[in-house]
Amino acid sequence: MEDKIKVFCGNSNPVLAEKICKSLGVPLGSAKVKTFSDGEIMVEIGENVRGRDVYLIQSTCAPTNNNLMELLIMMDAVKRASAATITAVIPYYGYARQDRKVAPRTPISSKLVADLLTTSGADRVVTVDLHAGQIQGFFNIPVDNLYAAPVILSHLKSRFPDSNEIVMVSPDAGGTERARAFAKRLGCTLAIIDKRRTGPNVAEVMHLIGEVRDKTAIILDDMIDTAGTLTQAAKALKSHGARAIHACATHGVLSGPAIDRINSSDIEELIITDTVPLGDKSLQSNKIKVLTSAELLAEAIRRIHEDESVSSLFV
């Protein structure tokens, strides 16, 4: 596979890219991705990619616009260097929350990003736990939306062997399907928090549906940004008699006051994956445990390259 496949990464998550390459058994390709003094991005691919299947690994996390531009310019570079196919591997897809018009005269930014990726040369997109599954329909190219569920479930099963002691909690009605699927796989009960948003990044907990008293509650979400929803959910669960509170999410964005909120909350442990690099944030909280998504992404890349089923990973 090594002579036909080439894997490169930008500056957003090189540690994850190295792990993916190690799992694949191929070297991480040489690429210079720097900025000029005025902030313009400069890309130089250091290897021959003519006729190769190229995989570009880049999460479009903070700084979102820089990382997105790096990915677009890298795709243009390998397209002009005659790559056979270009797959954008985006573990965290930025702008995913702007997937519809929520008010007059507002953009659908995730559709715009989809158009930019396609125009820049992407033949396929691989991502993990899209905030809204319908974003796949914004593309006219194949999109593989992977799920971090196997990674998180494996940890939860070893951490909580007695399913009668735990309850899976959705922090809002929109995440009910995800939490129900986890509860089914774990063999535990389900609870739902009825949440009402009063503005962007502002949430107000209303009611709890389900029984959590004297149980370990595990809050499940796709991403944690400012942690407002998460910590309010934890407060509501505590007030309803939960014995202990844990949380898990695929994407640990953790912006603004997130770390302080988590540290001062009733949450004992927050489980996230490495789709978004934590950097120094990991040193600011001893409640955070990071699981790697590298093997999941590597296996998906291998299956795509060898024309095998990707969906069977999640059966």
pLDDT, tens digit, 9 for 90 and up, residues 162-211: 999 999 999 988 899 999 999 999 999 999 998 766 666 665 656 899 99
Is 137 annotated to bind a ligand? Reply is no
Region 267-285 average pLDDT: 91
Sheet holding 288-291, edge to edge: 202-209, 189-199, 166-170, 216-224, 244-252, 267-273, 288-291
Cis-peptide into 63, omega within 30 deg: yes
pLDDT of res. 289: 95
Is residue 229 a known part of a binding site? yes
* Nearest-angstrom CA–CA distance, 147 and 297: 10
| Residue 2: predicted pLDDT | 59
Characterize 251-267 residue by residue with b for buried, 16 or more Cβ atoms within 10 angstroms of its Cβ, and e for exposed. bbbbbeebbebbeebeb
Give pLDDT, residue 205: 59
CA distance 251 to 293: 11
Task: Report residue 252's pLDDT band, with 50, 70 and 90 as the boundaries.
Answer: very high
Count of residues in the chain: 315
Tell me if 95 sits within 8 A of 132, measured CB to CB.
no
Q: Is 83 annotated as a binding residue?
A: no
Where is pLDDT greater, at 150 or 204?
A: 150
Band of residue 50 on the pLDDT scale cut at 50, 70, 90: very high
Q: Is the pLDDT of residue 145 over 90?
A: yes
- Give the residue from 175, 201, 174 showing the smallest Cα distance to 258: 201
- pLDDT at residue 281 in the model: 80
Give the percent of the chain with pLDDT over 90: 89
Q: Are 73 and 36 in contact (CB under 8 A)?
A: no
Q: Name the pTM for this structure.
A: 0.93
The CA distance from 299 to 253, in Å, is: 24
131 annotated among ligand-binding-site residues: yes
Tokens 């059966």 correspond to what residue?
315
Mean per-residue pLDDT of the chain: 94
* Mean pLDDT score, 234-245: 94
Q: Is 98 annotated for ligand binding?
A: yes
Whether 120 contacts 72, CB under 8 Å: yes
Residue 26: what are its φ and ψ, rounded to 5°? -125, 150
Query: Could you give the CA distance from residue 62 to residue 94 in angstroms, rounded to a whole number?
Result: 9
Biggest distance spanned by C-alpha atoms of the chain: 61
The answer on whether 40 is annotated among ligand-binding residues is yes
Query: Which sequence positions are flagged as catalytic?
Result: 195
